[in-house]
Chains A and B, each alone.
Chain A
């Protein structure tokens, strides 16, 4: 068998293993910690009977291992349990919210990825001159402000002071794509700013690394033009690190979404998660945590797979 197949299989298996381990970690984090869920839900004044009833309802009287496997078995069949606070099926509530979240993240990626790569190239082209310095100064600033604050700064200046776009991003199925895009314009801007800095800096570093290789000098000494050097010699070697950068930052985007959704009252998974954390609705938190972790692990997995698949040493073994 081609060694690359083995490597890919190993990496995928590792991803699955990691996801299992993450599910254990999430479960442990919510059930074995000293906080008593039933007590938290019912408050200090709850009667012992009420507490006992709730504990039984939550399955807290079962040993932790049994509870974990019951939960995991459910998850594997698509059953995420029911929310404590309103008794609704979690999978059902999550469905449309997950879609909304992915919609927002998708458009943020559509804007941020090309922009970041373009700015990264620009910074490399004018390395150590003013465009490079300007880009790095601006990105330094955006790295230094939390997402939600960028959100309010943009709402204040763009939406309130200049009157462009709406300050809340509430979308529903009856809206057209154009209306939806108009609604999420500012959140997309915020998310773009949030990931742009990292993505651009890492792209710049990745391209510089390739451009400083001896084989680029060889190409220059063949008298090739700049464009041909980039197309034929730099690009094939830079693609893997750039894809890696993009994937890592998309993973970062997934987290940025949580906060941004709260700021703009966007009906996505992040808001849902934060709401239920305050309400101490453990099954919802577990489900959302697992989904976020799965997306995160998945994107990291894709990044690794791209590195493996584009490595000429692995593709063409001796």
Chain B
């Protein structure tokens, strides 16, 4: 048994919080965590937001962001307690022995400097390499990480490369000084799913080739399962479970871990289309004023009463624009939308109230979708008042019924949005939409800002409500797992066009078109060796062509 590279004992971390309008106060955000990391091994830290995983990662560099402070415990790197070490030694550690890859490379690169200078800076400053050596090593890393034009890409500025490329540059930056340990903090979370798989593969290969140890921090268990040897599950600053990747994925011991592993396991039987669709979108083409190209090109889809049409695509595919066209916020340049047998006018302003009532919308960010100065009662009550003229006790009764339907119960009617959790906020938005008794609800990425378990709860609720209220959903998402869970039919969008459309069973069954194949195969699966499998499969396919 070799000595651990990183040894953390009894780590407690506190933070100063500044609640608006109140006195600042101290809270503990990590409550005593222990673990070891052997040289060359990868440990995955996983948990939902607020679990303290990033804070623990940065503690291995003796760094606390903002008001965050390490209050107790020891952190040993290569046998030295870095919390007691003089600051000079800590500086030698940072950027030399331990390096960091952040979630947002775009923000973490200095916009005013060329990439090469920033990638090699630590290695040169820490006297690991001369300038020439460091640059040669950087080019080598650029090549390994699969960046285009590895010899010259370093001369570009950060804004001149794409998000996925910059994230790889950030990995090169971390690996350039030949560190013993790299802290990866959600390195692929901000990327599209088809980009994520490439960056993930590049990171994994780079870790293997350089023999560096790593802490891999993420909220996505399926991702971390591909790269780590061990996994530690964290919840609200405390360890829940620690084990080998195999054990955590295939034999979780704790309920919380089991819930994380089985997330998105909702099964939904596909319903058969009826004769009369509630929504028919025909030949819709649209562009934003000032743009020289169409954001939507000749879109044709149908949605049947009480069913769910999932519109799936990556950022820039036009899926949210489709929602804006259907709601009348962006009148299309061509095409027709039929809703419940009537043709909808293109512009919101000219639609009769009945059309507005029957077509509701739920947003991605529940935070900004509710007026912070209105209570839950006002937010849900307004559509009742506006569409049905309900007042007084009658209105209160109906509000309470709706609150019961979204499983919030008593005591919420007088709360303000700031007094709710993320999941509760989204539930209130659902209640507001239901209050109008709509025939169709457009759900725009309603679960993507939520933690997986909370998102699961919302999806289950939506499915239950669909049975009770017989409402149709147009479900816009980038997340294929969500699509599998709830859709009856699916439209895959790519660069403004629908590239594949039909009932779920057909869309998700081969033979695939190239894009759908790429998209489907890029979604991380909760099993060991998935990444290798996909890459091997892709290699074989491209060899076969």
Does A146 interact with chain B (Cβ within 8 Å)?
no
Q: Which of B93-101, B409-417, B525-533 is found at the contact surface with chain A?
A: B93-101
Is B113 in contact with A221, judged by CB distance below 8 angstroms? no
Q: Please tell me which one of the listed residues B104, B113, B125 contacts residue A222 in the complex, with CB atoms under 8 A apart.
A: B125
Q: Does A214 contact B (CB under 8 A)?
A: yes
Residue of A219, A228, A312 near B157 (CB, 8 A) is A312
Give the distance to chain A from B176, nearest Cβ to Cβ, in Å: 10
**Is B107 touching A312 in the complex (CB atoms < 8 A)?**
no
Q: Is the CB of A223 within 8 A of B108?
A: no
Chain B positions 119 through 134: 1 when the CB is less than 8 Å from some CB of chain A, otherwise 0: 0011001100000000
Interface residues of B in 126-168 (CB under 8 A from A): 126, 156-157, 159-160
CB-CB under 8 A from A163, the residues of chain B are: none
* Interface flag for A34 (CB, 8 Å): no
Whether B94 pairs with A218 at a CB distance below 8 angstroms is no
- Contact bitstring B61-103, A, C-beta under 8 A = 1, else 0: 1010100000000000000000000000011111110011010
- Prevailing SS type, chain A contact patch: helix
A220 to B94, CA, bound (A): 8
A237 to chain B, nearest CB (A): 5
- Residues 261-298 of chain A, each 1 if its beta carbon lies under 8 Å from chain B, else 0: 00000000000000000000000000000000000000
Q: Is A156 an interface residue (CB 8 A)?
A: no
Task: Verify B96–A218 contact, CB threshold 8 A.
Answer: no
Chain B residues whose C-beta falls within 8 Å of the C-beta of A316 in the assembled complex: 156-157, 159-160
| Chain B residues near A213 (CB-CB < 8 A) | 107
B104 lies within 8 A of A237 (CB): no
**Residue B111 interfacial (CB < 8 Å):** yes
Chain A residues with Cβ under 8 A from B108's Cβ?
214-215, 217-218
The number of A-B residue pairs with CB atoms under 8 Å apart is: 76
- B45-68 near A? 1/0 per residue, CB < 8 Å: 000000000000000010101000
Least CB distance, B354 to chain A, in whole angstroms? 48
Q: Least Cβ distance of B119 to chain A in Å?
A: 11
Residue from the list A221, A236, A312 in contact with B95, Cβ < 8 A = A221
A214, B94: Cβ atoms under 8 Å? no
**B184 at the binding interface (Cβ < 8 Å):** no
User: A233 at the A/B interface (Cβ < 8 Å)?
Assistant: yes
Query: Complex Cα distance A219/B118, Å?
Result: 9
The verdict on A214 contacting B102 (CB below 8 Å), with A221-B61, A221-B94, A236-B113 known, is: yes
> Which residue of A220, A237, A318 contacts B63 across the interface (Cβ within 8 Å)?
A220
B173 contacts across to A, CB distance below 8 A = 218
With A214-B104, A313-B159: A222-B121 Cβ-Cβ less than 8 Å? yes
Residues of A near B102 (CB, < 8 A) are 214, 217-218
- List of A residues within 8 angstroms of B92 by Cβ: 223
With an 8 A cutoff between CB atoms, is A78 at the interface?
no
Q: Is the CB of B111 within 8 A of A313?
A: yes
B110 at interface, CB cutoff 8 A: yes
A214, A221, A236, A313: the one within 8 Å of B107 (CB): A214
- Asked whether, in the complex, the Cβ of B110 is within 8 Å of the Cβ of A236, the reply is yes
- Please, which residues of chain B bring their CB within 8 A of the CB of A237? 110-112
Task: Encode A202-244 as 1/0 by CB contact (under 8 A) with B.
Answer: 0000000000011101111111110010001100110000000
The smallest beta-carbon distance between B113 and chain A, in angstroms, is 7
Q: Give the residue name and chain of the A residue nearest to B112 (CB).
A: A236
In the complex, chain B residues whose CB is within 8 Å of the CB of A222: 94-95, 99, 121-122, 125-126
B121 closest partner in A (C-beta): A222
Q: Is the CB of A225 within 8 A of B91?
A: yes
Interchain CB contact (< 8 A) of B110 among A225, A233, A318: A233
Partner of A215, one of B63, B91, B107: B107
CB distance from B403 to the nearest CB of A (A): 40
Q: In the complex, A223→B111 CA distance in Å? A: 19
Q: Give A235's nearest chain B residue, CB to CB.
A: B112
Is B339 engaged at the interface, CB distance under 8 Å to the other chain? no
Q: Which residue of A lies closest to B98 (CB)?
A: A221
**Interface-centre pick from A213, A219, A223, A313 (highest chain B CB count, 10 A):** A223
* B109 within 8 A of partner (CB): yes
Asked whether A223 lies within 8 Å of B126 as measured between CB atoms, the reply is yes
How far apart are the CA atoms of A237 and B113 in the complex, in Å?
10
Chain A residues within 8 Å of B107, by CB: 213-215
In the complex, how many angstroms separate the beta carbon of A296 from the nearest chain B beta carbon?
Answer: 30
Instruction: Assess whether B160 is in contact with A224, with CB atoms less than 8 Å apart.
Output: no
CA distance A222 to B182 in the complex (A): 12
> Least Cβ distance of B83 to chain A in Å?
16
Q: Are B109 and A215 in contact (CB-based, < 8 A)?
A: yes
> Please, which residues of chain B bring their CB within 8 A of the CB of A221?
61, 63, 94-95, 99-100
Specify which of A215, A220, A228, A312 is in contact with B125 (CB 8 Å cutoff).
Answer: A228
User: Which residues of chain A are near B111, meaning CB under 8 Å?
Assistant: 215, 237, 312-313
The one of B94, B104, B112, B157 that contacts A223, using a Cβ cutoff of 8 Å: B94
A237 vs B104: C-alpha distance when bound (angstroms): 18
Q: In angstroms, how far is the closest chain A Cβ from the Cβ of B283? A: 34
Task: Specify which chain A residues have a CB less than 8 angstroms from the CB of B100 in the assembled complex.
Answer: 218, 221
Cα separation A222 to B126 with both chains bound (whole Å): 9
CB distance from B215 to the nearest CB of A (A): 13
Contacting residues, chain B, for A228 (C-beta < 8 A): 125
Across the interface, name the chain A residue whose C-beta is closest to B107: A214
CA distance A81 to B1 in the complex (A): 95
A236 proximity list for chain B (CB < 8 A):
110, 112-113
Measured CA separation A236–B65 after assembly (Å): 23
- Residue ID in chain B nearest A221 by CB atoms: B100
Residue of A nearest to B158 (CB): A312
With A213-B107, A214-B104 as given contacts, are A312 and B99 in contact (CB-CB < 8 Å)? no
Tell me if A224 and B125 are in contact (CB < 8 A): yes
| Chain A residue contacts of B110, Cβ below 8 A | 215, 218-219, 233, 236-237
In the complex with contacts A213-B107, A218-B108, A237-B111, A223-B160 CB distance below 8 A: no
- In the bound complex, CA of A72 to CA of B109 (Å): 51
A residues in contact with B126, CB < 8 Å:
222-223
Once the chains bind, are A223 and B122 in contact (CB under 8 Å)? yes
Q: What is the bound-complex CA distance between A71 and B122, given in angstroms? A: 64
Determine if B95 and A223 form an interchain contact, defined as CB atoms under 8 angstroms apart: yes
Residues of chain B with a CB closer than 8 A to A318's CB:
159-160
A313 to B112, CA, bound (A): 8
Which B residues lie within 8 Å of A313 (CB)? 111, 157, 159
CA distance A313 to B94 in the complex (A): 29
Chain A minimum-CB-distance residue to B155: A316
**CB-based nearest A residue for B157:** A316
Q: With A214-B104, A218-B108, A312-B157 known to touch, is A224 a contact of B95 (CB < 8 Å)?
A: yes
Residues of B within 8 A of A225 (CB): 91
Would you mind naming 13 contact pairs between A and B with Cβ atoms under 8 Å apart? A214-B108, A215-B111, A218-B102, A218-B118, A221-B61, A221-B99, A222-B99, A223-B122, A224-B122, A232-B121, A233-B110, A312-B111, A316-B156
With A218-B118, A223-B95, A313-B159 given, can you name 7 additional A-B contacts, CB distance below 8 Å?
A214-B108, A215-B109, A217-B102, A221-B95, A223-B93, A223-B122, A223-B126
Q: Which 6 A-B pairs have the closest CB atoms?
A: A222-B95, A223-B94, A214-B107, A223-B95, A222-B122, A236-B112
